C-alpha cells in the first residue's frame, strides 16, 4: 500500500463532527441526518443510499462544498 492510499484510509476513518457543521449553519438538520446515515458505511451501502435518495445527498454535498469555498475566500 502506498503513502497516498494510507493517507486516504486515515482520512476516511476519522470522525467528522457533523453537529458542528449544523451549529455553524453549514448543513441543515435534514442534511445532518443524511450525512449520519452515509458516514462510515461501505461502498455498497453508499450505492444503496444514493439509489434511494441520490438528489438529496447531492444537494447536501454540493451545499457543504459551496459554503466551505465561500468561507475560504
Distance CA 33, CA 60 (A): 10
Q: How confident is the model at residue 2 (pLDDT cuts 50, 70, 90)?
A: low
- Residue from 22, 13, 17 nearest 63 by CA: 22
The string of pLDDT tens digits covering residues 13-59 is 788 888 998 898 888 999 999 999 999 899 999 999 999 999 999 99
Please check whether residue 22 is in contact with residue 32, taking contact to mean a CB–CB distance below 8 angstroms.
Answer: yes
Please state the separation of Cα 12 from the chain's center in Å: 10
Distance CA 10, CA 14 (A): 7
Amino acid at each position: 500500500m502506498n503513502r497516498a492510499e494510507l493517507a486516504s484510509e486515515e482520512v476516511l476513518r476519522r470522525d467528522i463532527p457533523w453537529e458542528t457543521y449544523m451549529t455553524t449553519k453549514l448543513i441543515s438538520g435534514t442534511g445532518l441526518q443524511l450525512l449520519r446515515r452515509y458516514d462510515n458505511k461501505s461502498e455498497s451501502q453508499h450505492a444503496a443510499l444514493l439509489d434511494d435518495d441520490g438528489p438529496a445527498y447531492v444537494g447536501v454535498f454540493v451545499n457543504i462544498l459551496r459554503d466551505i469555498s465561500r468561507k475560504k475566500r
